[in-house]
Amino acid sequence: MLRRYISYTTNKFTNCRHVSQSMLQSTVDEKSGIATVTMNKPPVNSLNLEFLEEIITLLNKLQKDKVRGMILTSGLQKVFCAGLDIKELYKPNPDRLTKFWTTLQDTWLSLYTTSFPTVSVINGHSPAGGCMLAMSCDYRVMVGQNYRIGFNEAKLGIFAPKWFQNTIIAVIGQRKAEVSLTTGKMYTTDEALQIGLVDETCADADSALKKGTHFLNNFQNISPWAYKMTKDINRQSTIQWLIDNKQKDVDFTVEYMQSPGVQKNLELYLQSLKSLPPLKLISEIN
Ligand X SMILES: CCCCCCCCCCC/C=C/C(=O)SCCNC(=O)CCNC(=O)[C@H](O)C(C)(C)COP(=O)(O)OP(=O)(O)OC[C@H]1O[C@@H](n2cnc3c(N)ncnc32)[C@H](O)[C@@H]1OP(=O)(O)O
The residues binding ligand X (CB under 6 A) are: 43-44, 46, 78-79, 82-87, 104, 107-108, 111, 125, 127-129, 132-133, 136, 152-153, 156, 160-161, 164, 273-274, 278-279, 281-282
> Quick one: 261 or 278, whose CB is closer to ligand X?
278
Q: Considering 83, 124, 129, 150, which one is annotated as catalytic?
A: 129
DSSP string, 32-46: T-EEEEEE--TTT--
152 is catalytic: yes
Residue 220: C-alpha distances to residues 61, 103, 151, 224 (Å)? 21, 32, 33, 9
Shortest gap between Cβ of 86 and ligand X (angstroms)?
4
Q: Which is nearer to ligand X, 226 or 279 (CB)?
A: 279
In the bound state with ligand X, the residue whose beta carbon lies nearer, of 69 and 161, is 161
Least CB distance from residue 72 to ligand X, whole Å? 10
- Tell me how far apart the alpha carbons of residues 80 and 124 are, in angstroms, rounded to a whole number: 4
Please indicate whether residue 84 is annotated as part of the active site. Answer: yes
Q: How far apart are CA 16 and CA 195, in angstroms?
A: 36
- Whether 130 is a known active-site residue: answer no
What is the C-alpha to C-alpha distance for residues 92 and 51, in angstroms, rounded to an integer? 17
Kindly report the backbone phi and psi dihedral angles of residue 204, in degrees, each rounded to the nearest multiple of 5, phi listed first: -140, 165
Rounded to a whole number of angstroms, the minimum distance from the CB of residue 84 to ligand X is 4
Instruction: Check 24, 52, 62, 84 and give the catalytic one.
Output: 84
How far is residue 121's CA from residue 141's CA, in Å, rounded to a whole number?
5
Where would I find the H helices in 174-223?
A: 174-183, 189-195, 205-217
In one letter, which amino acid is 51? F
CB nearer ligand X, residue 13 or residue 57:
57
Q: Which is nearer to ligand X, 52 or 141 (CB)?
A: 52
Q: Which of 153, 166, 209, 212 is catalytic?
A: 153
Pairing of strands 149-150, 69-74: unpaired
Single-letter amino acid code for the residue at 204: D
Determine the residue with CB nearest ligand X. Answer: 83
Least Å distance, CB 162 to ligand X, is 10
| 15 is an active site residue | no
Q: How far apart are the first and last CA of the chain?
A: 36
Q: How near is the Cβ of 201 to ligand X at its closest, in Å? A: 19
The catalytic position among 45, 123, 152, 166 is 152
Count helices and strands in the chain by DSSP H and E runs: 10, 11
Quick one: 268 or 273, whose CB is closer to ligand X?
A: 273
**Overall size of the chain counted in residues:** 286
* Nearest distance in Å: CB 126, ligand X: 8
Of residues 90, 103, 104, the one with CA closest to residue 271 = 90
Eight-state DSSP code of residue 196 = T
Q: Are strands 126-127 and 149-150 parallel, antiparallel or unpaired?
A: parallel
Q: Which residues are catalytic?
A: 84, 129, 152-153
